[in-house]
A and B are shown apart, each in its own frame.
Chain A
């Protein structure tokens, strides 16, 4: 091949951004069209540097906005290339119009979203507002809890997205700064092993196939639009999860690292648990272990696949627990948090008597401390002891001023 391979140590100390950039290099992305925004910029900068240093054979397209970045990715993907980019926050918001185009056109683009708060007020730090903004866009969404996940999930994302039975774009989320700029040990794959997991890109309906001309991005009105959206939803609901599970299984065989659609930690005999995403999952795991030493049977459920939403996996994970806290790191804008609503939807019509309460935390990168989580688990245990939720159903954690709670 025309490019150079890179020698990696078995464990490299990488932050989440560099881990994602290395994954893009090892997947040999054909086209990255990108526009910079904190904190995701080092991902596409990293790809550009690898390209300039001849570690990858591809094309870097500098564009004038995130809308143009995703538009470029859509064009390149429709033409028949392996395509990726990265963004955050306002850039993600500007991309939204094209996100729906990408998924409706069934183009297997991978978008690294380094989660960051949405202005106003302007804030570069991590929360899940942008992730939540994308949750109806028809993309598959994977969530990382640490730099290792950000590396691994990129390979899994390409494998799933490019499967001809799936052909849907994937987002790989990581927490801004808390993962993207936090260096930790990352177990690497060598270049050949990594590439073998994703394999050569297999085009489908590509515009560069001149013997089979296609028109991409056609118009339908009331006559056919509904059928197209129905097909896309059907495939998200029925085809994607088995493919994700198969990719997780193969990845474990290859690397020994296990991922699950819903991650369950200390849940086998748990009385109380928190359900959350991102770096909070790991912090909560540590606190749950400490709570067990204090006699509270605590567990943690981490959402690994945000979309399609793991309805049955959540039901299964939460069926025996007595009190559940849904932690949402996004301002819910006049509603219960997304996870609270989704979990309530999963558990309604089941036999569970679990007590569900919602917590809004960590907006704009506000620290979620171990002390917050100790208090939270203690509150859940009090709910269990009383046999009812003793607090309002929505509480804010770590915000200044009088206790903020609703519902």
Chain B
């Protein structure tokens, strides 16, 4: 079982990202689950989304999760919420920030001793898509860190999932995914 927790703000596309990732993985024959905690959250409120991936059918519906990966797609959430909660020894963190990994860990001591990767998904999204929607770049970074799929296969799959959007937006997303794949450290 592979488990992922997303830290996001409502409106940044974590749910869409989690469902998109589940969709891609599902096409390779694995079982998937994607869900989120909403409450009555308004745009901008901190929220979490989740992925589960397994070879077997997934029956576990508990919200409690000890994630293998934590994605933080908003830079402030590292400080305002505990992104390490229920973490395991080997949990990997992919965090959106303008800082280097060392600078980030220095600014948030909770990350000390953890396997932390950084990438500026907000900047990438703004420069490619033109809006601060950091969900698809995060998936590009995840492909690099996890080595889950070949990046070209992943991008092709995302073209299908984003199918209803204008071509210009799809193209921009592909550039964003590739940039995050290349830039994550």
Contacts and interface: CB of A to CB of B under 8 A. Distances in A.
Give yes or no for direct A-B contact (beta carbon below 8 Å).
Answer: yes
Given A13-B19, A177-B36, 17 more contacts: A124-B40, A175-B61, A181-B35, A183-B23, A184-B22, A184-B33, A184-B34, A280-B61, A282-B59, A282-B60, A282-B61, A283-B60, A286-B59, A367-B63, A368-B62, A369-B64, A370-B62
Interface in A199-213: none
B149 interface: no
A15 B32 CA distance: 11
Interface in B33-74: 33-36, 38-40, 58-64
Contact of A370 (B18, B32, B64): B64
Contacts of A9: 27
A283 B61 contact: yes
B31 interface: yes
Interface residues of B, number: 23
Contacts of A65: none
Contacts, number: 72
A279 B61 contact: yes
B26 A13 contact: yes
Nearest to A186: B26
B57 to A, nearest CB: 8
A190 to B, nearest CB: 18
Contacts of B35: 177-178, 181-183
A232 interface: no
B26 A285 contact: no
Contacts of B18: 183
A50 to B, nearest CB: 14
A185 interface: yes
Interface string A4-36: 000001010101000000000000000000000
Nearest to A13: B23
B32 A124 contact: no
B34 A283 contact: no
A125 interface: yes
Interface residues on A, range: 20 to 34
A381 to B, nearest CB: 21
B39 to A, nearest CB: 7
A125 B27 CA distance: 30
B60 A183 contact: no
Q: Lowest 3 A-B CB distances belong to which pairs?
A: A279-B61, A282-B59, A182-B35
A1 B83 CA distance: 53
A2 B15 CA distance: 35
Contact of A124 (B31, B38, B58, B62): B38
B62 A367 contact: yes
7 contacts: A13-B22, A177-B36, A178-B35, A178-B61, A182-B35, A282-B60, A370-B64
A304 B101 CA distance: 51
Interface string B1-40: 0000000000000010011001100110001111110111
A282 to B, nearest CB: 4
Given A13-B22, A124-B38, A124-B39, A185 B32 contact: yes
Contacts of A184: 22, 31-34, 58
A182 B51 CA distance: 10
Contacts of B61: 146, 175, 178, 182, 279-280, 282-283, 368
Nearest to B50: A182
A183 B32 contact: yes
A177 B58 CA distance: 16
